[in-house]
Amino acid sequence: MSDSCVFCRIAAGTIPASIVAENDHALAFRDLHPQAPVHVLVIPRRHVASLAAADRPDELGALLALAAAVAKTAGLEESGYRVVTNIGEDGGQTVHHLHLHVLGGRPMAWPPG
C-beta of 41 vs 60, nearer to ligand 5GP: 41
**The total number of residues written for the chain in this structure:** 113
Name the binder of 31 from ligand 5GP, Zn ion, none, CB < 5-8 A by kind: ligand 5GP
Name the binder of 29 from ligand 5GP, Zn ion, none, CB < 5-8 A by kind: ligand 5GP
The CB-of-2 to Zn ion minimum distance in angstroms stands at: 5
Contacts of residue 96, Cβ cutoff 8 Å, sequence gap at least 6? 5, 49, 50
Rounded Cα gap, residues 40 and 69, in angstroms: 11
Rounded Cα gap, residues 10 and 76, in angstroms: 25
Contact between 47 and Zn ion by CB under 5 A: the answer reads yes
Whether residue 112 is preceded by a cis peptide bond, meaning omega within 30 degrees of 0, is: no
Question: Rule CB under 6 A: which residues touch ligand 5GP?
Answer: 6, 17, 29-33, 41, 86, 92-95
Give how far Cα 42 sits from Cα of 27, 61, 110, 111, Å. Answer: 6, 12, 22, 23
Contact between 46 and Zn ion by CB under 5 A: the answer reads no
- Out of 33, 47, 99, 101, the active site residue is 99
Binding piece for Zn ion, criterion CB under 5 A, among 43-51, 54-62, 69-77, 105-113: 43-51
Say whether 99 is catalytic: yes
